[in-house]
Structure 1
Amino acid sequence: MPTTDSSFSETQTAFVTGGASGIGLATVEILARSGFHVIAIDRNAESVRQMVEHFTAERLSVEGAVADVCDRPAINRIVATQRRVDVMICAAGIYAPRYFDEITDEDFRRTLEVNLLGVFVAAQEASRRMSAGGRIVTVSSRGALGGKGFADYVASKAGVIGLTRAMAMELRPRQIVVNSIAPGFTDTPMTRTMPADQYAAAVALEPGGAPASPYDIAHVIAFFASPTSRFITGQTLFVDGGKSLGGLGI
């Protein structure tokens, strides 16, 4: 992990959007325990306060910052507070199940803003301050492959995968790597907003009969955040227990 890599003698700094809950929160913890100084960005001020209080009590190097990922001036100010920017994890996202005929323009626009524009803003602000060896990790979704009942979410996450590849190509000459993690169905506060019957049906389709935990996903994100992943870029890794292989239903 980062603290044992002899090519990095200083503590590295990682930013995590959506860092106060779900996959983002698990990622903050794993990175901090691995020796990173972590700045968790989230729009929920109370969740940020509780998170910082908890990790401070455990003597982990974690700061909190309250901002909407679509607010470029706010993200700019947060990133500028740190002397170095080594890693940006773009984990913030929203999801509201609704069928195609029920999605409004405003629904679609807001999902794209948070899930795609928010990734672009955070990644761009970080990349402008990164030196060679910087890492950007986006969080897409297995849903990018398609599905029923969340077309706006599917579109946004497919966009994240395309954006990841484009960023990787452009940042490659600066030796900044960009990769994406595409989680399968994961037990998070966001997925728990689904009606109970829909949640149970989604779980039943999982190869292991259970959803991933946020830590299952966060450990893989931490690999891409580590200097040891420096020779991988432009890739999307599906972390879904094999469901994307097919043969298990929709």
Structure 2
Amino acid sequence: MAGRQTAIVTGAGRGIGRAVAELLARDGYRTMLVDVDAEVAEASAAALRSAGLDALGHGLDIRDRMGARALVALLGSVDVLVNNAAIASDMVAVMNLTQERLREMMDINLRGTFTLSQEVIAAMPSGGRIVNIASRGYLGGAGASHYVASKAGVVGLTRAMAVELRWDGINVNCVAPGMVDTRMMASFTDEMRQKLARREPRGHAASPGELADVIAFLASPEAVFVNGQVLLTDGGKNLGIPPL
């Protein structure tokens, strides 16, 4: 890499975001770990610094435009943005979904991704890379219409941004994971985990590190000719799954 590039990873206090941030830092990026929990972000960054890596922690609600603007001003220039921060939700039938729950999901998962992206793009040079994290859930699913809609929005946003920004030399891609072993699975019973594992072609959920490898590739200069793509990383489950 010619010179040290800067990367922002959101939702980087734990899980996929934390794994991506560590991998980018090990690849030589000056890495900003962003999380809504500032203490968690700084603790994760401190752990990376103790390993000799260039990492900073920063607390930010990605919906906060002025906070996003201040973060970008602090860094000066941003070469890579990984929009990983998001929320999931308990299952709820579409007829029982409230306006409030729908609004919160769309507000964080879609508007938050849009807001931070817009601020970062203003400070992103030609050759910049944006990787949005959606979910295989954007394909559809019962009991999660608000989550599905928010992640389908991220996919659409990715494609639209890629069409516009390609002329500025900025690539925008999207990763759509299947089941990943993060704290979002913490509330699952052992029985539910076993049932879900039987639906996985690999027999188990992906680890955050396995997803980080894919995301880091799309964030790399080597992926210069990959643009506007939605990469399903679910072990092939999107090809058809057996019933529970």
- TM-score, scaled to structure 1: 0.93
User: Quick check: 1:60 aligned with 2:53?
Assistant: yes
The 5-angstrom pairing of residues 2-13 of structure 1 reads: 3=1, 9-13=2-6
**Which secondary structure does the structure 1 equivalent of 2:75 belong to?**
coil
Tell me which amino acid in the other structure corresponds to 1:162. Answer: G
- Mapped partners of 1:63, 1:146: distance in 2: 37
CA contact (8 A) 1:164 1:179 kept: yes
Q: How far, CA to CA, are the matches of 1:67 and 1:98 in structure 2?
A: 27
* 1:128 corresponds to which of 122, 132, 135: 122
The code of the aligned residue for 2:75 comes to Q
Local SS of the residue matching 2:201: coil
Partner SS state of residue 225, structure 2: coil
How far did residue 84 of structure 1 move?
Answer: 1.9
Cα 1:199–1:114, aligned 2, differ >3 Å: closer, same or farther? farther
In the TM superposition, residue 48 of structure 1 has moved relative to its aligned partner by 1.4
* CA spacing shift, 1:249–1:128, aligned 2, 3 Å: farther
Q: C-alpha deviations, 1:76-111, integer Å up to 9, x for none?
A: 111111132101100001001222233211111101
Q: Which residue of 2 aligns with 1:98?
A: 91
Equivalences, count: 243
Distance in 1 between residues matched to 2:166 and 2:208, nearest whole Å = 30
Query: Partner letter of residue 42 of structure 1?
Result: D
1:237 pairs with 2:231: yes
1:10 Cα deviation after fit: 0.8
Q: CA RMSD in A?
A: 1.4
Aligned to 1:168: 162
| 1:71 aligned partner | 64
Query: What is the CA distance between 1:195 and its match in structure 2?
Result: 4.7
Q: Larger deviation: 146-155 or 169-178?
A: 146-155
Matched, 1:26 2:14: no
1:140 to 130, 134, 141: 134
Please state whether the residue corresponding to 1:193 is helix, strand or coil: coil
The equivalent of 1:117 in structure 2 is 111
Stretch moving more, 235-244 or 143-152: 143-152
Tell me the TM-score normalized by structure 2. Answer: 0.95
Structure 1: unaligned runs, 5 residues or longer: 4-8
- Paired residues of 2:201 and 2:236 also in contact (CA < 8 A): yes
3-state SS of paired residue (2:120): helix
SS of alignment partner, residue 190 of structure 1? helix
Q: State the distance in 2 between where 1:249 and 1:229 align.
A: 36
Contact 1:207 1:248 in 2 (8 A): no
Percent identical among aligned pairs is 42
Contact 2:31 2:56 in 1 (8 A): yes
Residue 163 of structure 2 aligns to which amino acid in structure 1? M
- 8 Å CA contact 1:33, 1:60 repeated in 2: yes
- Counterpart in the other structure of 2:7: 14
For 1:216, the equivalent position in structure 2 comes to 210
Residue 52 of structure 1 and its aligned partner are, at CA, apart by: 1.8
Distance in 2 (alpha carbons) for counterparts of 1:22 and 1:127? 25
